[in-house]
């Protein structure tokens, strides 16, 4: 569990820590003019897009050979693709390694599937809630660490540091992670159509996939404009540092709350906790649009973290309880595909809305998107009688 948490944190951080200086690194590699923003955005999004495409393939292999081999494979390859960014001579090599990072990713869904398949189902909420704090805190605190390390050691050395950490993670995964799994011969695995046929309510399954996408899209939509919005609120000194603190504030409160909220979901019902968290998220995004100072925005972001501490654990717990163990890695990989799609769509949504309507409207549109998801989820769960059996 501890190794899986560390792996989720490092994987989430490695995806997001490049955010503060990617445009500067692209410029250092020789790109000039308006092409800097284009290639910086492409370098970030190509990783998520490749991961979205490849995730089901790795999930299929995990159901055949086990989740642990896929975790080792993901961390080992990322060791070279992330560490190798320190040595790229031009933009083409940067894009290639970012693409390979996305292709060979998969530590997060496979570690989640491993924990979900090994833990007693009545403890799934607590276990997956604790595990999810690794990903959430890594995603949110990555930009803060990335900016600090880049200022302290230089941009290229940041990638070397990440590579060394991923090397340690690979060793820990090999020797400390245990999995009870018997490899399945080719052609003997349960077909995906049979897995879907055994799922109690496929509407709920699709709803959880879409909710994962919207959660990620909502979180990512504000990242491109966060520093600009903070400057709009009056912050001029130490702008990047303040932006990093405000961005990371949500990760701290999420870590503090996820374990407790996971236990609460096990008792209250994960579907009920998910609905409460979605409505809470809607309120927090709406309040963010009305922030008058950077301090107010930071406080709202910190409070919002108590909601994110319930979102991912609730989804993962419901997926665990809905899915037969024979197909759990594939189902989590499909869910991860939707999550990566949110990572691609979110920044595009935020940048477009900010360009045409202004910064505050990014939060209005995001809150509206979450509210629609809340209403849709209520409709899906309302007549789902069997949900009481799995919650």
Output the furthest CA–CA distance in the chain (Å, rounded): 62
DSSP secondary structure of 216-283? HHHHHHTGGGHHHHHHHTT--TTHHHHHHHHHHHHHHHHHHHHHHHHHHHHHH-HHHHHHHHHHHHHH
Kindly calculate the radius of gyration of the chain based on its CA atoms and give it in whole angstroms: 20
Are the C-beta atoms of 177 and 52 separated by less than 8 Å?
no
In a domain, 348, yes or no: yes
In a domain, 286, yes or no: yes
In a domain, 318, yes or no: yes
In a domain, 184, yes or no: no
Domain region containing 293? 2-177+191-390
In a domain, 81, yes or no: yes
In a domain, 186, yes or no: no
In a domain, 11, yes or no: yes
288-306 confidence digits (pLDDT tens) = 999 999 999 999 989 988 8
20-29 confidence digits (pLDDT tens) = 677 778 888 8
pLDDT greater than 80 at residue 238: no
How many distinct structural domains can be found in the chain? 1
Q: How many CA atoms lie within 13 A of 354 on its CB side?
A: 19
Report the CATH number at residue 173: 1.20.1250.20
Q: Who contacts 11 (Cβ-Cβ below 8 Å, separation ≥6)?
A: 74, 75, 78, 105, 107, 108, 135, 138
Residue 195 has a pLDDT of 78
Which DSSP category does 21 fall into? T
pLDDT greater than 80 at residue 18: no
Higher pLDDT, 330 or 143: 330
Cα angle 43, 48, 54 (rounded to 5 degrees) comes to 125
User: What are 156's two structure tokens?
Assistant: 């290229």
Residue 365 has a pLDDT of 93
Cα angle 293, 281, 208 (rounded to 5 degrees) comes to 150
In a domain, 164, yes or no: yes
Taking the C-alpha atoms of residue 174 and residue 249, their distance in angstroms, rounded to an integer, is 33
The whole-model pTM stands at 0.78
């Amino acid at each position: 569990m501890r190794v899986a948490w560390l792996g989720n944190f490092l994987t989430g951080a490695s995806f997001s820590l490049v955010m503060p200086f990617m445009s500067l690194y692209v410029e250092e590699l020789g790109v000039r003019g308006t092409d800097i923003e284009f290639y910086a955005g492409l370098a970030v999004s190509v990783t998520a897009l490749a991961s979205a495409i490849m995730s089901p393939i790795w999930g299929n292999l995990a159901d055949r050979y086990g989740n642990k081999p896929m975790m080792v494979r993901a961390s080992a390859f990322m060791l070279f693709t992330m560490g190798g960014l320190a040595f790229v001579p031009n933009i083409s090599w940067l894009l290639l390694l970012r693409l390979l990072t996305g292709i060979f990713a998969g530590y997060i869904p496979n570690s989640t599937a491993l924990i979900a398949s090994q833990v007693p189902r009545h403890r799934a909420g607590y276990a997956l809630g604790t595990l999810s704090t690794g990903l959430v805190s890594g995603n949110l605190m990555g930009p803060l660490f990335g900016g600090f390390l880049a200022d302290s050691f230089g941009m290229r050395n940041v990638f070397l540091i990440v590579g060394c950490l991923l090397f340690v993670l690979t060793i820990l995964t090999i020797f400390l992670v245990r999995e009870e799994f018997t490899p399945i011969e080719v052609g003997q695995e349960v077909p995906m159509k049979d897995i879907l046929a055994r799922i109690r309510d496929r509407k709920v399954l699709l709803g959880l996939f879409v909710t994962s996408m919207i959660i990620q899209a909502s979180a990512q939509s504000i990242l491109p404009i966060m520093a600009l919005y903070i400057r709009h609120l009056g912050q001029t000194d130490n702008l990047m540092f303040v932006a990093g603190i405000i961005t990371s504030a949500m990760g701290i409160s999420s870590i503090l709350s996820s374990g407790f909220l996971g236990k609460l979901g096990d008792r209250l019902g994960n579907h009920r906790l998910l609905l409460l968290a979605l409505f809470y998220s809607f309120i927090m995004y709406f309040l963010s649009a009305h922030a008058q100072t950077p301090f107010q925005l930071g406080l709202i972001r910190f409070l919002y973290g108590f909601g994110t501490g319930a979102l991912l654990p609730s989804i993962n717990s419901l997926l665990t309880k809905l899915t037969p163990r024979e197909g759990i890695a594939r189902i989590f990989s499909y869910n991860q595909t939707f999550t990566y799609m949110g990572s691609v769509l979110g920044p595009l949504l935020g940048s477009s809305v900010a360009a045409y309507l202004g910064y505050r409207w990014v939060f209005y549109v995001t809150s509206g998107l979450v509210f629609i998801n809340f209403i849709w989820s209520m409709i899906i769960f309302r007549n789902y009688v069997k949900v009481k059996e799995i919650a």
